[in-house]
Chain A
Amino acid sequence: DIQMTQSPSSLSASVGDRVTITCQASQDISNYLNWYQQKPGKAPKLLIYDASNLETGVPSRFSGSGSGTDFSFTIGSLQPEDIATYYCQHYHNLPPLTFGGGTKVEIK
């Protein structure tokens, strides 16, 4: 099975900062990667699919890039409402559709 390694596991940044999270796959997954946001006590929400495509209605300060095994997710200017845990997930080939371990984003 493909393993997804996310880093860092948590970070603290100031409002307006640029924040970047990385996700590494244990094998080539092309661009078959999603990014989700989960706010405390809520269900996850799909933000980015196919590694770099923004889901409809998601603010443009969120972006994703990468292919193969190395991916990144960026919040261009951190806002208070972005406090959440972010997960990557691959969908290459057959299930399991493994999630990364998550990155908890907090405001400094």
Chain B
Amino acid sequence: QGQLEESGGGVVQPGRSLRLSCAASGFTFTNYAMHWVRQAPGKGLEWVAVTSYDGSNRYLADSVKGRFTISRDNSENTLYLQMNSLRADDTAVYYCARGRGYCGGGRCYFYGMDVWGQGTTVTVS
């Protein structure tokens, strides 16, 4: 089925940077797209970013575009989220999630998330 474990969260001052990691196990990491989803305290889910299985297609939510970068190291079965210029409204639990979908015909189709980590908390204050 697969397991995901996030790390790297913590308390950081506004304007500073943080890098989150997500270690994958129990499935063939290189076969799957991967997502980051966040949840601010007491709020709903917000999709943040996705990368295709090979990192060639990457998308970010408008709220983080220009500040966050999603990447992956398929040799280490690890997903990353580099977060720069952090703001108070980035405070949230950040989940990594395995994505469904496929790439073909020159584009990728992302169908949602079927395996989730337990999340790592980022507090910007």
A binds B: yes
Closest residue of A by beta carbon distance from B45: A99
Which one, B14-22, B24-32, B76-84, B107-115, is touching chain A?
B107-115
From B44, B111, B119, A99 is in contact (CB under 8 Å) with B44
Question: Which of A38, A46, A98, A102 has the most CB atoms of chain B within a 10 A radius of its CB?
Answer: A46
Q: Interface residues of A toward B: which range?
A: 20 to 34
User: A100: which B residues are within 8 A, CB to CB?
Assistant: 44
User: A1: which B residues are within 8 A, CB to CB?
Assistant: 62
**Contacts between the two chains (Cβ within 8 Å), count:** 62
User: A49: which B residues are within 8 A, CB to CB?
Assistant: 100, 111-112, 114
In the complex, A46 Cα to B112 Cα: how many Å?
9
Q: How far is the CB of B34 from chain A (nearest CB, A)?
A: 13
From A43, A85, A87, B118 is in contact (CB under 8 Å) with A43
Q: What's the tally of chain B residues with a CB closer than 8 Å to chain A?
A: 23
Closest residue of B by beta carbon distance from A35: B112
Main SS at interface, chain B: strand
Main SS at interface, chain A: loop
Task: Let me know if B61 is at the binding interface, CB within 8 A.
Answer: yes
Q: What 3 A-B pairs have minimum CB-CB distances, sorted nearest first? A: A95-B59, A43-B116, A34-B112
Residues of A whose CB lies within 8 Å of any CB of B are 1, 32, 34, 36, 38, 42-46, 49, 55, 85, 87, 89, 91, 94-102
Could you list 15 further interchain pairs (A-B, Cβ under 8 angstroms) beyond the known A38-B45, A46-B114, A102-B44? A34-B112, A43-B95, A43-B118, A44-B45, A44-B95, A46-B112, A46-B113, A55-B114, A85-B44, A89-B45, A91-B101, A95-B50, A96-B61, A97-B112, A99-B45
30 cross-chain CB contacts under 8 A = A32-B111, A34-B111, A34-B113, A42-B118, A43-B116, A43-B118, A44-B37, A44-B113, A46-B112, A49-B112, A55-B114, A85-B44, A87-B45, A91-B101, A91-B109, A91-B112, A94-B59, A95-B47, A95-B50, A95-B110, A96-B59, A96-B61, A97-B35, A97-B47, A97-B50, A99-B44, A99-B45, A99-B46, A100-B44, A102-B45
